[in-house]
Amino acid sequence: MIRSPGAEIGFAQRCALSASSRLTHAVAAALALCSLSLCLILAITLLTARCAMAMPLPV
C-alpha cells in the first residue's frame, strides 16, 4: 500500500489559519456582549423574584 505524500502519523497535521484576526476579534466581542447581556438578564430576573417574594400575598 502506498502512502500519500501528505499523510502523517496519527492525527498530527499542520494547522492552517482559516480566519483573519479581524473576524476573530469580532466573534470574541460578540461573545463577550452576549455573555454580558445574559448576566444582566439573570440579575434582573433574580432581583424581580426577590421583590416578588418580599411582597405580601393579596387576600
Query: What is the reported pLDDT for 51?
Result: 87
The grid coordinates listed for 37 are 447581556
Whether the model pTM is above 0.75: no
Cα 20 from Cα 28, distance rounded (Å): 12
Query: What is the reported pLDDT for 19?
Result: 74
Q: What is the pLDDT of residues 2-52, one digit of tens each?
A: 656 555 566 666 666 677 889 999 999 999 999 999 999 999 999 999 888
Query: What is the reported pLDDT for 12?
Result: 65
Domain ranges of the chain: 20-53
- Read off the DSSP letter of residue 19: S
